Amino acid sequence: MFLSDTRTNAGVDHVIYSVSTMAEAARIVGEAVREVHRRDALSLAEFSVAFNCSFISAGRFMASRRAACSGVRGG
């Protein structure tokens, strides 16, 4: 799962750019972090490197995007 590089998203059903709410975006980021932890935590621990990360998530959805995602039509 990749969050920003759409060239590497072949075969991935959900990317952060395709969500309609910030909650969905947070869920995708969480899934990506868990996948990286699953893949790399043991290797990092061998070198006494703790796996941790922090994110600040903010943004807004354009009105036309919200309308398209919610099925609302008009102005």
Report which DSSP code applies to 21.
Answer: S
Of 30, 31, 38, 25, nearest to 54 by C-alpha is: 30
Classify burial at 16, counting beta carbons within 10 Å of its beta carbon; exposed 0-12, middle 13-18, buried 19 or more: buried
* Whole-angstrom distance, CA of residue 75 vs CA of residue 73: 7
Per domain, the residue ranges of the chain are 6-70
Look at residue 19 and tell me whether its pLDDT is greater than 90. Answer: no
The pLDDT tens digits for 36-71 are 999 999 999 999 999 989 988 777 766 545 555 555
Q: Are 3 and 32 in contact (CB under 8 A)?
A: yes
